[in-house]
């Protein structure tokens, strides 16, 4: 029970750290683009922010899927 909680805390800390580094790193970015999502578009965002945010969201999703796998595996062992 303690292992999934530790993994969740580590994942949260890691992804927040990546997000802070991303915010600091895009300060001088001059390439801006719109993001089109379901027939609406966003404000102009730096390309590095779009790519970095998609990487971080993928990392969060993968860590949550991994935690769900461990929970199912523990139930099968009982």
C-alpha span between 70 and 30 (Å, rounded): 43
Distance CA 43, CA 63 (A): 29
Does residue 10 surpass a pLDDT of 80?
A: yes
Cα→Cα distances 70→24, 56, 57, 74, Å: 34, 21, 20, 6
Instruction: Convert the pLDDT of each residue in 15-69 to its tens digit.
Output: 889 888 888 888 877 777 887 878 888 788 788 888 888 888 888 888 777 655 5
pLDDT for position 9: 85
Containing 46, the helix (H) or strand (E) segment is: strand 45-46
Distance of CA 66 to the CA centre of its chain: 14
pTM: 0.64
DSSP 39: T
């Amino acid at each position: 029970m303690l292992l999934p909680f530790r993994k969740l805390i580590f994942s949260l800390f890691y992804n927040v750290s990546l997000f802070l580094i991303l915010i600091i790193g895009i300060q001088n970015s001059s390439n801006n683009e719109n993001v089109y999502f379901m027939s609406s578009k966003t404000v102009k965002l730096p390309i590095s922010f779009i790519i970095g945010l998609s990487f971080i969201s993928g990392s969060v999703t993968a860590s949550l899927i991994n935690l769900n796998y461990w929970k199912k595996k523990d139930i099968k062992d009982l």
